[in-house]
Chain A
């Protein structure tokens, strides 16, 4: 158990809908990352938050947004869903943003868009 909690574990929804994925980081970790894993794209970095503020943005679509709340949990909002958004979405956390810290991943949220 990495200590990073993601909900829901599985989600099936229709095209055009909106979903929210939730992440609770490990106790004491201030930095949260979101990654998308699909067969064709591999592991893609979406966005990073540190102590409530956005720190880095990767290949995140405009239809997607995220935030980190004062209690450090984070949510990834996916809207106007398309079939191609079907993927495994990971949340990860680490203590800080500097490079030497280990990054621990949650178990992922499997999203299927039908």
Chain B
């Protein structure tokens, strides 16, 4: 079964508007972490934001916020005031804590290609 599902292969948003990138996850562990990464066309993988499963509040980092809905197993990324430089592939990832040999590894979704237009 897919650990991370990103259902939007591509999204378009106008500059200065907000956009939400969807992510759902699957785990039976009570303790886990959720991550979002940005990959521009140059290829590097840039860490954006982290949410722990026990965190009571949604994580925020500048223009990025994570809409964490634990019961729905959803961890959507919200980018406010989009900029042209936000055009990139965005990956949602999960890290489980208590699994034996898979401890520490990240499970990635297939990504969402975001295009910001002027």
Contact = CB atoms under 8 A, between A and B. Distances in A.
A42 interface: yes
Interface string A24-68: 000000010101000000110100101000011110000000000
Interface residues of B, number: 27
A31 B37 CA distance: 19
B101 A45 contact: no
Interface residues of A, number: 31
Contacts of B108: 42-43
Contacts of B97: 98-100
Interface string B81-96: 0000000000100011
Which 7 A-B residue pairings sit nearest by Cβ, starting from the closest? A99-B97, A105-B45, A97-B104, A43-B108, A107-B44, A45-B105, A99-B95
Interface of A: 2, 31, 33, 35, 42-43, 45, 48, 50, 55-58, 88, 90, 92, 94, 96-108, 110
